[in-house]
Amino acid sequence: MTTMALGSLPGGFAWAFSCDFRLAWRNPGETVLVVAFFVLVASLFPLGVGADMRLLERIGPGVIWVCALLAAFLSLPAMFSSDYMDGSLEQMALSSHPMVGWVSGKIAAHWIMTGLPLTVLSPLLALQYGLEPDTLLVLAAALAIGTPVLSLLGAACSALTLGARGGGMLLALLALPLFVPILIFGAGAAQAQASGLSPSPHLSLLAAGLIVAAMGLPAAVCLAIRIALD
Amino acid sequence: MNWSYFSSPSTFYRLAGWLSPWFFALAAILTAVGLYYGFVVAPTDAQQGEVYRVIFIHVPAAWMSMFIYFVMAAYSAASLTFNTRLGAMMARALAPTGALFTFVALWTGAFWGRPTWGTYWAWDARMTSELVLLFLYFGFIALANAFEDPRRGDRAAALLALIGLVNLPIIYFSVHWWNTLHQGSTVKLTGTSMHVAMLTGMLLMAFAFWMYSIGAALTRVRSIILERERRARWARSL
Amino acid sequence: MNHGFYLWMSYGATAIAIAIEIATLAAGRARARRLIEEERDLEAQD
């Protein structure tokens, strides 16, 4: 463990972030799985639906967003569970770092390993669906703003279901309804751009959602972890 | 008056038992009067004919679905802040009734939509958010019951209810944000363009549903209290 | 489909749903009472 600025919020953030990031860097299996799933499922749709480019162009933003949602969801169970199982979550909670700091660090690391690769890959998939360059850009922007919110919401759901009966199904029941507004606004932004309307209302609402989520959810995740540890 | 007296489960058990029949009776009376207004007094609609009368269930149920969630979230906040058991039990007691009204709103909406818009379901903003609300209720109930320790379930579900509270403004404002199938709200705080008898019927039914919800929640919380507190002396001496 | 069908389906489903809820309320009460009985029996055994 690094002793970077013990007991401080940024210190805790940096410590948790670098810890998780290095772990993922050495064992990229999880990240690769997420990305591979994303690409695979997004490629399945044209195969199933047929190569009608106009149809693909219309459903493209929505399909890519749903794949992003599912791929983000896949990586949620692992966020806290291994630390919870081996007791290190309890250790971290008892440490002198403020909880909000290292929890935010973990969430940020999660986004870097899931949401960010998805956002970066989305233009490639968008080309598969024949989306116009401007739509493609809006889609990527929407994903860039929206996927952190997915990580934040997902972290809360993951922490709430630590050690619960029902496992993955319960997590899906909790997380996917909460994801829905992000999906609607995110896909809606790209669809608006594609039909010539302005995507800015959608993107602004997404950004507002990100701000609210970033301010409120880390504390909620901390509370959820405390509830799980009691 | 010492309000914390009522937050003891045994006291509240007796109070709820005394109150709940009154709420059910009130609900029954209001339903009778409301339906009278809805079917006898209110005239036939110029465009929709008789089928518009679904509104006397649909709109009150939708209002209840959101209102109950809000109250559930309030109890959840109180239970997390003050660490009371009763607050969490009330939230648990409200959830199934909230889910019921959400389902009724969706179902009656579908059967109103078919003859008027031509479709049982359309992915419009309000319907989708209402469906999400139904899943939020299910998630709350599932999470509350997912643990051996009921207190853990209480607290986890309470936090979930607060996180999901964001969905309510989205439902409420969705009709303004999107110009889709749902008309803009006809009943505003400043007045309404609806025929008086229709409005009266709707408000009466809304009150009826509200009274019923309170009665149901009080009844349900009594069962929850008994189950939780069954090892306490007062419970065994019942 | 005449409009009566839609009205009946709506009001009918609501009535059924409320009836089901009241039934579950009664079942919940019966279950709680049964658990209390069990606790009393356990206490009597001690």
B205, part of any domain: yes
Q: Could you tell me which residue, B81 or B41, shows the higher pLDDT?
A: B81
Q: Could you tell me which residue, A62 or B192, shows the higher pLDDT?
A: A62
B222 touches chain A (CB under 8 A): no
Q: Are B204 and B30 in contact (CB under 8 A)?
A: yes
ipTM over 0.85: yes
Name which of B57, B112, B114 is nearest C14 (Cβ-Cβ).
B57
β-partners of residue B188 are B191
- Alpha-carbon distance B166 to nearest alpha carbon in chain A (angstroms): 9
pLDDT of residue B133: 93
pLDDT of residue C10: 92
Do C and A count as touching (3 or more CB pairs closer than 8 A)?
Answer: no
Residue B77 pLDDT more than 90?
A: yes
Contact B51 C6 (CB under 8 A): yes
- Alpha-carbon distance B81 to nearest alpha carbon in chain A (angstroms): 11
Name every chain B residue with its beta carbon within 8 A of the beta carbon of A173.
135, 138-139, 142
Name which of B112, B230, B231 is nearest C6 (Cβ-Cβ).
B112
Mean pLDDT estimate for chain B: 87
| Stretch A9-19: mean pLDDT | 82
Q: Could you tell me which residue, A18 or A116, shows the higher pLDDT?
A: A116
Domain span including residue A163: 24-229
Distance of CA B153 to the CA centre of its chain: 21
A12, part of any domain: no
A1, part of any domain: no
| Stretch B133-161: mean pLDDT | 96
A17, part of any domain: no
pLDDT of residue B170: 75
- Alpha-carbon distance A26 to nearest alpha carbon in chain B (angstroms): 34
B36, part of any domain: yes
Least confident of B13-22, B39-48, B194-203: B39-48
| Stretch A86-110: mean pLDDT | 87
| Stretch A41-54: mean pLDDT | 88
Q: Could you tell me which residue, B174 or A88, shows the higher pLDDT?
A: A88
Distance CA C23, CA C25 (A): 5
Q: Could you tell me which residue, A73 or B48, shows the higher pLDDT?
A: A73
pLDDT of residue A129: 92
User: How long a stretch of residues is chain A?
Assistant: 230
For residue A175, give both structure tokens.
């997380």
For residue A87, give both structure tokens.
């007791």
B1, part of any domain: no
What percent of chain A clears pLDDT 90, i.e. is strictly above it?
A: 49
pLDDT of residue A94: 84
A11, part of any domain: no
What percent of chain B clears pLDDT 90, i.e. is strictly above it?
A: 59
Residue of B nearest to A167 (CA): B146
Residue A79 — very low, low, confident or very high, per pLDDT cuts 50/70/90?
Answer: confident
pLDDT of residue B188: 57
Residue B185 — very low, low, confident or very high, per pLDDT cuts 50/70/90?
Answer: low
A6, part of any domain: no
A2, part of any domain: no
**3-state secondary structure at position A187:** helix
- For B213-225, the pLDDT digits (tens) are 999 999 999 999 9
Do A and B count as touching (3 or more CB pairs closer than 8 A)?
Answer: yes
Residue B233 pLDDT more than 70?
A: yes
**Residue C23, CA distances (Å) to A89, A213, B220 in order:** 44, 40, 11
Q: How many domains, in total, are found in chain A?
A: 1
Least confident of A71-80, A165-174, B198-207: A71-80
B129, part of any domain: yes
Q: How many domains, in total, are found in chain B?
A: 1
Name every chain B residue with its beta carbon within 8 A of the beta carbon of A201.
177
B5, part of any domain: no
Residue B183 — very low, low, confident or very high, per pLDDT cuts 50/70/90?
Answer: low
- Alpha-carbon distance B181 to nearest alpha carbon in chain A (angstroms): 17
DSSP notation for chain B: --GGGGGSHHHHHHHHHHHHHHHHHHHHHHHHHHHHIIIIISPPBTTTBTGGGGHHHHHHHHHHHHHHHHHHHHHHHHHHHH--HHHHHHHHHHHHHHHHHHHHHHHHHHHHHHHHHS-S----HHHHHHHHHHHHHHHHHHHHTSSSSHHHHHHHHHHHHHHHTTHHHHHHHHHHH--SSSPPPSEETTEE-S-HHHHHHHHHHHHHHHHHHHHHHHHHHHHHHHHHTTTSHHHHT-
The torsion defined by the Cα of B137, B23, B74 and B4, in degrees rounded to 10, comes to -140
Residue A155 pLDDT more than 70?
A: yes
A16, part of any domain: no
Residue A219 — very low, low, confident or very high, per pLDDT cuts 50/70/90?
Answer: very high
* Residue B178 CB neighbour total at 10 angstroms: 15
Domain span including residue B76: 19-41+51-236
Structure pTM?
0.91
Q: Strand runs (DSSP E) across chain A, as ranges?
A: none
Name every chain B residue with its beta carbon within 8 A of the beta carbon of A149.
none
A170, part of any domain: yes
pLDDT of residue A9: 78
- For C10-46, the pLDDT digits (tens) are 999 999 999 999 999 999 999 999 999 998 888 888 7
Distance CA A227, CA C36 (A): 29
A227 touches chain B (CB under 8 A): yes
**Residue B39, CA distances (Å) to A31, A105, B29, B192, B202 in order:** 61, 60, 15, 20, 11
